[in-house]
Amino acid sequence: MVTRLDPKLFDSTAEVTWCAGCGDFAILKALKQAFADLAILRALKIAFADLDILPHQALVVSGIGCGSKLPDYMTVNGYMTIHGRPLPIATGAKLASPGLHVVVVNGDGDSYGIGGNHFVQTCRRNPDITQIVENNQIYGLTKGQYSPTSDKGFITTTSPDGAIEPAFNPMAVAIAAGATFVARAFAGQPKHVAQMIEEGIQHRGYALIDVLQPCVTFNRVNTYDFYRQRVYNLADEGHDPTDREAAWRKAYEWEERIPLGVLYRADGLPTYDDQVKTLDGGSPVSRLTELAKDPRPAQYESLKDGFL
Amino acid sequence: MANVVTNDMSIVIGGDAGQGVESSGAGFCLSFARAGLHVFGIQDYRSRIRGGHNFYQIRLSERPRLSHSNPVHLVLALTPETVDLHLDRLAPGGAVIFPERFGIDPAPAEARGVRVDSLPLMRIAEEHGSKVMTNTAALGAAAGITEFPIAYMEQVIRDNFAAKGSDTVEANIKVANAAYRVARERYGADFPFKLAPVKDAPKRMLINGNEAFAMGALAGGCRFMAAYPMTPATSIIEWLAALPHEYGVVTKHAEDEIAAACMAIGASFAGARAMTATSGGGFCLMVEAMGLAGMTEVPLVIVESQRGGPSTGLPTRTEQSDLLFAINASHGESPRIVTAPGTVADCFEAGWRSFNLADKYQCPVVVLVDQALSSSLVTLDMDGIDFSQVEIDRGATLSHEQLDSLTDGYKRFAFSDSGVSPRAVPGHPAAVFAASSDEHDEVGHITEEIENRRRMMAKRMRKLDQALADDIRSPELHGPDGADVTLVCWGSTFGACLEAAHEINASGGSANVLRFLDVWPIPEEAATAALSRCRRTVVVEQNYTAQLAKLIRMTTGVKVDDSLTKYDGRPFAPEEIAAGLGKEVASGHKA
């Protein structure tokens, strides 16, 4: 009999400071579920034992914003960093220690606003990390200003006449920038969120899961009801996520119907880390561990010849 | 002919960007280094790829030199502008060599006792190769006039042009030889400055500060570097990226300096020795991340190779204007160590020592160098880079075996007397933790509780006291005790200061040098003691506001008597320092 790894393994005693009803709860629950479910998969496939994800085998990197406090509420290796920068920090960690399952959790402002360049570069870079964006279309932690994903006309304290810019389209940008796994989920469907995170972690390469996640305190437009009336699952309508053209069309669906699920995926492509030749035969962390025991100074002597 | 001076001269090769001044200069340096001469070569170039005056200044000697020097004795002018720009720096008896078609008026030079020699360099280049080899002809002519054996230059041509094919190699060698013969026949007998191979000289490397730092970092276990290209720091990542793959150095050219610093922090958090390198403008972008490393106690090495600021400033030139910035970089108060190597050999040591400091104190270490130190090519004895001296000290980093024996719950940020907490890197089941840029408790959980804040802040800052007690180096005094004047310096001006002091002492004056190697935390007690033993103190700095003097006064209350500052982007020459101190200091006599 296979024992299911209990998601409670990732529970923490830290006080959770999110507002009651916040969609972040759903993502937190889903993430615990996702790691746990993956561990079952590993248990079933002993041959893939290396991929068995336990709290110490994962690293969750977040930025700044409500959702970025998530690592504090889990028992998992976590790094709550600075606004907009979790992707390069996660990329550095992955390149240094490729065995870690690296997951980034941040918000729409963090990822698509202040961290926008890192987002675009990471899409085309394709490191083997998974990013979950808690997209509530507003700056919640600073108490309600419009965000990159706020719809045009959205009224907030910094847009009293309505936001002038059209909303940033993370799905389209990710596809255009070369992301190899682009998905959307909705916090009102936690099982589906968990499923998307699982698929994202299993995907070899960069995976984006943009989670529509209502801010119950500051966003009175994009509510649970707003989404429930519009979302549908792509899998139910026979969408082929490997069809880039179809994905592109789905990325532009928003007003009336909002697609959930994997919009686009390209499997079998080499990740960034796969292609770094200096990672063959050891990682920066494993090599340092060896060098700290035996620095082998003689190995460098011939380098002096380059200066003669 | 005047008295012949052998193996003590400076040569300038100048021309427009794109004429190969830099590669010619570096190649020339190499041929002299291989002949056993000590070389100190500085590049002077503008921020453009084509056009604009560039030059390479090469000082040659039979003893080690720590800076360039004026006057110069031979100018190889690849453009008419070079003649005008460097004429005033020529020593009596010196010469300017230039191609035949320039039409230079010799009168001003001859009035200075300098000869201007038109040589058929272009014709020689065209006859034996092509016009682009005019610089090779100029180098050949320089060897001819100084009677330096052309064989050394031939070998460098073979090495440097090998990839371009044997035709190019042979043509360049013919050009060099033809120019050598013409110059030697025409002027050799009259030119008093000569260069000769040094018998039985040991092999020496020709290396710059960036390369030496990169070697030190490699030997110190650094296997991750992320950077965004920025002059004059770029050659560090280039050198590491070009290493054979077996060394396993992961380098990442990031999308910007923010990403570069963050990637290095991520790699270090995961357990690697990781660094980034930049100049002042890029460092501006890194300082928020530097605060993150300070707050979350992640070791981080940042090389900041200073150039002329503010803003884009003098992008290819030198300055020491980021001292107070580095010490204070990032908002709030967080621990960091700032160190300032002054020589190429120092750079090698800084390469591995910085990582030890970063690991021991779990904080950022900023290595302040500058364009002059990063780019100047210097001969270094083979044992000047001694890999057997390199230690890898990971401080309180917990090994896998130590983690296996952990019994209580792991506290990543445990309070301690030293301020340093045992550090685990992700991957061990006994030490799962989350770190946060928010204030946090010993476990790492976010908290704003008063008592915890007080204790945690004090714990982080206390690490600097421990560093002062264990690792921070006192200022070093060089030269005679009790000298009339003490030149106080940090970083790359050390070389020029030391040479200036030698010069002053040799001409009857009395000077010594007090140099600061580690500038933050500043060794207050040692600095106060050292300064109190000085008669008259003068800081020598490449900035406008005498930042070291300010720092000394701020931390010790000691007021340095005078300052000699320079902010034109060109490195101090010893003669400028001596002249800046005034005649009475330089000679030891009242005028």
ipTM: 0.95
Q: pLDDT confidence of A6, banded at 50, 70, 90?
A: low
The answer to whether the CB atoms of B426 and A287 lie below 8 A apart is: no
Q: Torsions phi, psi of A100, nearest 5? A: -70, 140
**Closest among B252, B244, B299 to B277, alpha carbons compared:** B252
The domains of chain A, with CATH numbers, are 7-272 (3.40.50.970)
Partners of B262 on chain A (C-beta within 8 Å) are 81, 85, 88-89, 92
Give the residue ranges of chain B where pLDDT is below 70: 1-2, 583-591
The CATH number given to whatever domain includes residue B550 is: 3.40.50.920
* pLDDT value for B104: 84
Beta-carbon contacts of B486 under 8 Å, excluding residues fewer than 6 positions away, are: B477, B511, B512, B513, B514, B534, B535, B536, B537, B538
Instruction: Decide if pLDDT at A214 tops 60.
Output: yes
CA A78 to chain centre: 14
Give me the pLDDT at residue A15, please: 77
Residue B245 with chain A: CB contacts under 8 Å: 277-278, 280
Q: In B, which residues are within 8 Å of A280 by CB distance?
A: 245
Verify whether the Cβ–Cβ distance B271 to A301 is below 8 Å: no
Instruction: Quote the percentage of chain A above a pLDDT of 70.
Output: 88
Say if residue B497 is in the same domain as residue B464. Answer: no
Neighbours of A108 (CB within 10 A): 28
The reported pLDDT for the residue numbered A42 is 32
Closest CA to B562 of B541, B542, B588: B541
* Same domain flag for B418 and B322: no
Mean pLDDT of the A225-229 span: 93
Chain B (380-419) residues lying within 8 Å, Cβ to Cβ, of chain A: 380, 382, 385, 387-388, 390-392, 394, 399-400
Q: Is B53 a member of any domain?
A: yes
A306 Cα to chain B: minimum distance (Å):
8
Residue B591 has what pLDDT? Answer: 40
Instruction: Give the predicted TM-score (pTM) of the model.
Output: 0.95
One domain for residues B26 and B130: yes
User: What number is the average pLDDT over the span A88-115?
Assistant: 96
CB contact under 8 A, B224 and A284: yes
Q: Is residue B358 part of a domain?
A: yes
Confidence of residue A52 (pLDDT cuts 50, 70, 90): low
Interface check B3 vs A, CB under 8 A: no
Q: For residue B311, give its domain range.
A: 207-389
User: A67 pLDDT band (50/70/90 cuts)?
Assistant: confident
What pLDDT does residue B584 have? 57
Distance, CA of B22 to CA of A167 (rounded, Å) = 50
| pLDDT score for B201 | 96
Q: Considering the domain boundaries, does residue B395 fall inside one? A: no
User: Final residue of a domain: which of B201, B231, B262?
Assistant: B201
Say if residues B514 and B530 touch (Cβ distance below 8 Å): yes
Residues B482, B459 share a domain = no
In a domain, B145, yes or no: yes
Q: What is the per-residue pLDDT for B234?
A: 98
Give how many domains chain B has, as a whole number.
Answer: 4
Chain B closest CA to A122's CA: distance in Å?
10
- Sequence-distant (6+) residues with CB within 8 A of B548 are B323, B488, B489, B490, B516, B519, B539, B541, B560
d(CA B555, CA B528): 9
pLDDT-derived band at A47 (thresholds 50, 70, 90) equals very low
* DSSP assigned state of B51: S
In this prediction, residue A71 has a pLDDT band, given cuts at 50, 70 and 90, of: confident
**HEC per residue, B380-408:** EEHHHCCHHHCCCCCCCECCHHHHHCCCC
Is pLDDT larger for residue A1 or for residue B504? B504
Could you tell me which residues come within 8 angstroms of residue B547 by beta carbon, excluding any fewer than 6 positions away? B320, B321, B323, B324, B541
pLDDT at A40 over 50: no
- Identify the pLDDT of residue A30: 66
Note whether residue B104 is domain-resident: yes
Residue that finishes a domain, picked among B170, B201, B232 = B201
> Which among B249, B266, B432 is the nearest to A76, CB-wise?
B432
Task: Tell me what the pLDDT averaged over chain A comes to.
Answer: 87
- Inspect the interface and report whether the beta carbons of A81 and B262 lie closer than 8 Å: yes
pLDDT of residue A118: 98
Q: Does residue B520 sit within a domain?
A: yes
Q: What is the CATH number of the domain that holds B146?
A: 3.40.920.10
If asked whether residues B463 and B486 sit together in one domain, one would say no
Q: Are residues B404 and B496 in the same domain?
A: no
Shortest CA gap A251–chain B (Å):
26
CB contact under 8 A, A89 and B262: yes
Per-residue confidence band for A156, with pLDDT thresholds at 50, 70 and 90: very high
Same domain as B175, residue B26: yes
Q: ∠ CA A74-B394-B271 to the nearest 5 degrees? A: 35
DSSP alpha helix (H) spans, B188-256: 209-219, 234-241
Lowest mean pLDDT among A14-28, A143-157, B350-364: A14-28
Residues B152 and B297 in one domain: no
User: For residue A45, is pLDDT > 70?
Assistant: no
Same domain for B296 and B331: yes
Q: What is the mean pLDDT of residues A285-292?
A: 97
* Domain end marker among B389, B413, B430: B389
B214 within a domain of the structure (yes/no): yes
Are both B184 and B243 inside the same structural domain?
no
* Residue located via tokens 């070998």: B155
What is the pLDDT at residue B52?
Answer: 85
Alpha-carbon gap, residue B277 to B240, rounded angstroms? 12
Do both B466 and B486 map to the same domain?
Answer: no
Domain assignment present for residue B183? The answer is: yes
C-alpha span between B411 and B473 (Å, rounded)? 31
The proportion of chain A whose per-residue pLDDT surpasses 90, expressed as a percent, equals 65
Helix (H, G, I), strand (E, B) or coil at A115: coil
Helix, strand, or coil here: A231?
Answer: strand
Q: Which residues in chain A are closer than 8 Å to B270, comparing Cβ atoms?
A: 59, 92-94, 96-97, 100, 285
Q: What is the mean pLDDT of residues A42-55?
A: 43
Whether residue B311 is found in the same domain as residue B367: yes
Alpha-carbon distance values, B542 to B66, B208, B494, B534 (Å): 16, 19, 11, 22
Q: Which helix (H) or strand (E) holds A30?
A: helix A24-44
- Which pLDDT belongs to residue B409? 87
